[in-house]
Amino acid sequence: MQFVQIALFILLSGVSFFLFYKQAKMIYDNIMLGRKQQVHNDPAWGFKQMLLIAFGQKKMFKITSAALLHLVIYVSFCITQIELVEVFLDGILGTHRIVYHFFESVNSYFLMGLYYLAINMIEVLSLLTFFVTIAFLWRRNMLKLPRFNKPEMLGWPKKDANLILIFELTLITFIFSMNIADRALQLQGTNDHYPLMSGGGFLLSGAVAPLFKNLPEAVLLVWERLGWWGHIIMVFVFLNYLPKSKHLHIILAFPNTYFSRPEPKGEITNMPEIMNEVKSMFDDSFVAPEVEGEIKFGAKDVRDLTWKNLLDAYTCTECGRCTKACPANQTGKKLSPRKIMMDTRDRIEEVGKGIREHGPEFADNKTLLGDYITKEELLACTTCNACVEECPVNINPLNIIIELRRNLIMEAADSPAEWNNIFTNLENNQAPWQFSPEDRLNWVEDIK
């Protein structure tokens, strides 16, 4: 029987990790469909951003209540990985709490103390996470906070958020089932596989276990095994659900913050072709480098964006802080920075699937600009950078908006008449105003 469990565990683990690898590889390939982009060459700065923002949750605390709730789940997720190591070892070796019994065999009170500290922190945090998860479900479905009920959040995004919370509740239930039954079997003292833990073991489960110690041993064994297998199966379900979910940010937040831009948020990257043209106007000796292939201005579809733009899209947590801070959205305009990121992710998924099925020349006569994101949304943006400032994981929706708007104006020549007047004045007068540069200081005469 033990051999069957070991074989089943190894098979289940292998299939789960293989399926996760396949999905992760598809996401990586999709991101790499974007244009090349030079990122900073300062690893120390990148790691600092990653530690402060992704690991340290620095920007989350702009909304304190939500940050504290999220922190409980985040810390619990990190700490429970310690117990997961023991679960995997037990699954592969057919043992039971191998780490504890190893520490016990070497008679190390220090290591056993660390073990008790870890499993009891896991229990306390798991219980807190249980209540926090219910609070999150309440906030999303009963309180109906505006940022969770925007048009882009209807349908799958809402189901996705609820599903992951239900997964968490299920996982926590299995953890406590496993621990309670385990402790009850220890208290019975009749099964050599479940010897009494000398330090008392579980803080919370140990307090409940005496209520069940008189149940038949067979019942407790089935209960403990159901908890153990349910726990690991939920881990594998979660692992393979991540690539399909906004909760992929658990992984991608780290590289995304590492590759953040060190430049000031308000600094907009110039287009080399335009910059070279301007340089040649001011310097007759300047020779612009030759450009291979067709010159494109801005982005019309996802393959015109950079790989970092696409990494941003996959990292989006759909928390809505960007949209909540957006002044255009606040005044009732159609623009939602969160929708920009969600649309970009949906489109790259569609393009990536088409390329895998039909080859690199895949074309479906659809584009990100027009079929997903409208002109009305792009023109509503004030480029204020509020969305960039608010994002907890340093996503930059504004960069995608600017690239799409550049294509709209410079390739499609589709811009409002008021904007065209400004462009003309900039070209002719080097300023937005409709008068000659020589007259720029005439206003001084009026105050003499």
Q: What would be the CATH architecture of the domain defined by 272-285+296-430?
A: Orthogonal Bundle (1.10)
* Interval 18-31 mean pLDDT: 96
* Residue 351 reports pLDDT greater than 90: yes
Q: For residue range 70-107, list pLDDT tens digits in order.
A: 889 998 888 888 889 999 999 999 888 898 888 888 88
Q: For residue range 111-159, list pLDDT tens digits in order.
A: 888 888 888 999 999 999 999 999 999 988 888 888 888 999 989 999 9
Which pLDDT score is estimated for 77?
87
Distance between CA atoms of 392 and 53, rounded to whole angstroms? 7
Q: For residue range 318-335, list pLDDT tens digits in order.
A: 999 999 999 999 999 999
* Residue 419 reports pLDDT greater than 90: no
**Least confident residue range of 30-39, 80-89, 317-326, 418-427:** 418-427
Distance between CA atoms of 199 and 312, rounded to whole angstroms? 47
* Interval 172-178 mean pLDDT: 94
DSSP 178-223: HHHHHHHHHHHT--TTSPPPTT---TTHHHHGGGGTTS-HHHHHHH
Query: 231-238: long-range contacts at Cβ-Cβ below 8 A with a sequence spacing of 24 or more?
Result: 231/87, 231/171, 231/174, 231/175, 231/178, 232/9, 232/12, 232/87, 232/91, 233/12, 234/167, 234/170, 234/171, 234/174, 235/84, 235/171, 236/12, 236/13, 236/16, 237/167, 238/164, 238/167, 238/171
Q: For residue range 204-259, list pLDDT tens digits in order.
A: 998 999 999 999 999 999 999 999 999 999 999 999 999 999 999 999 999 999 99
* Interval 162-166 mean pLDDT: 93
In the numeric block, the tokens 């996760």 are attached to 20
Q: What is the pTM of this model?
A: 0.89
The residue with greater pLDDT, 425 or 366, is 366
